[in-house]
Amino acid sequence: MSGETLEFSGCNFFRIRLAYSILSGRPIRIVNIRKNDDRPGIRDFEAKLIGLLEKVTNGTKVEISRTGTQVTFRPGMITGGIVNVDCGTDRCISYFLEPLILLSPFCKLAMTIKLKGVTNAPGELSVDGMKASWLKVYNKFVLNDEKLDIKIQCRGLKPEGGGVVIFTAPIVKTLRPVKRQQVGKVCKIRGQAYVSKVTPSLAYRMIDAAKKAMHGYIADVFIAVDQRKGDAGGASPGYGLFLTAETTEGVVYQAEAISRPKGEPGNPILPEDIGIEAGHSLLQQIYMGGALDSSAQVLASTFMTLCPKDVSHFLYGPLPMYSVHTLRHLKQFFEIEFKMEDYRKVQKEDEADLRTGSLDKAMITAVGVGYSNLNKTIL
């Protein structure tokens, strides 16, 4: 598959294009990166991501134009190993974790990556969310998951960050096909009210508000308090609430709400409002349903593509735009097409009366390309 250079335009989907370039062995050229912006070219966090990917590969060559508006990326072999990276404070650490998780099964050396920066940020998937929902999906595709973990040593909030996250993953070499069509019923809700460098009473106010927002849905609700002091609390004050819901089939949904970063314009967000927002967001995610959290659709689609030449099925909830573009990128890089069926047409009669939330679900089917990292080819 390697050889032909794929060309893309704009800064969107930057990290997924680089990850798929490495996995497929296909060089890419990205042009017109913020061409008409006041500050044209790649941002600091994108440069840090390129540097990180260079550290976990061998032989990768990158050319960035003088203005920064064009990047040529020629991928090398995935090596993994032990790497320490300062991710800065522009983006959440999860931005850097996403491509690492996609690459990690195919490393020559087991990954142990230490990332410093922001662990939780408004409007972004947090490290907690990745640990709860992504690793659950990852486990379905691998046989050896003994070292698979995302450990939050220090929590870091915007604007100063100060968080420390350690991602470890085993060497898998090959994935296994997955058939996940059953959703099950939500049996428990768990959560973490985290406070960094602020009074812990805010955590209890968030917990009370969240329980009221979800009152009457399920009885098994437990939310712990994660109070961080000193270096473990990062460099900026703040608070937030992270919630998960687990079903009888082992499916995990997640939702989160967080305070406004220190120094940002606008009134502070009350702990009660954060509790209500997190509770409602979780209920909305449960309603959307599917056999995985919507944020993890990217991971499932990628691993379904890289599986051996066998059929995988996965029931998705409504597809976010990011998932749609992920499927399009997979077709461009790996020449694979997914079969998508309306859930209403394939659901069994006994499931129709279970009230499993939104009917706008899709059954995604794919035949893996038989990926091997040994020579970056499709077997």
Secondary structure (H, E, C), 231-288 = HHHCCCCEEEEEEEEEECCCCEEEEEEECCCCCCCCCCCCHHHHHHHHHHHHHHHHHH
Q: Does residue 346 register a pLDDT over 90?
A: no
Q: What pTM value is reported for the model?
A: 0.93
Contact 365, 312 (CB under 8 A): yes
Q: Express as a percent the part of the chain with pLDDT over 70.
A: 94
Q: Give mean pLDDT, residues 130-139.
A: 95
Query: Which stretch of 39-43, 89-93, 223-227, 264-268 has the lowest confidence by average pLDDT?
Result: 264-268
* Domain stops at, among 78, 96, 129: 78
Q: Choose among 191, 196, 198, 194: nearest CA to 232.
A: 196
Contact 114, 85 (CB under 8 A): yes
* Domain stops at, among 258, 288, 318: 288
Residue 108: inside a domain, yes or no? no
Q: Does residue 376 register a pLDDT over 80?
A: no
Can you tell me the distance from the alpha carbon of 184 to that of 189, in angstroms, rounded to the nearest whole number? Answer: 14
Residue 198: inside a domain, yes or no? yes
pLDDT value of residue 377: 45
Which residue range is the domain that position 65 belongs to?
Answer: 1-78
Q: Does residue 208 register a pLDDT over 60?
A: yes
Residue 190: inside a domain, yes or no? yes
Q: Give mean pLDDT, residues 127-145.
A: 92
Residue 35: inside a domain, yes or no? yes
**Dihedral sign for Cα atoms in the order 279, 165, 301, 46:** positive
Q: What CATH number is given to the structural domain containing 55?
A: 3.65.10.10
Residue 87: inside a domain, yes or no? no
Packing angle between helix 201-213 and helix 271-288, nearest 10 degrees? 40
**Which tokens sit at 245?**
């819901």
pLDDT value of residue 378: 45
The total of structural domains in the chain comes to 2
Side-chain-side CA neighbours of 37 within 13 Å: the count stands at 14
Give me the amino acid identity at 299: L
- The mean of the pLDDT values for the chain is 92
Q: Does residue 203 register a pLDDT over 70?
A: yes
Can you tell me the distance from the alpha carbon of 268 to that of 262, in angstroms, rounded to the nearest whole number? Answer: 9
* Domain stops at, among 239, 261, 288: 288
Residue 96: inside a domain, yes or no? no
Q: Sheet holding 71-74: strands in order across? A: 6-9, 28-31, 71-74, 61-64
Residue 56: inside a domain, yes or no? yes
Residue 84: inside a domain, yes or no? no
Q: What CATH number is given to the structural domain containing 197?
A: 3.30.360.20
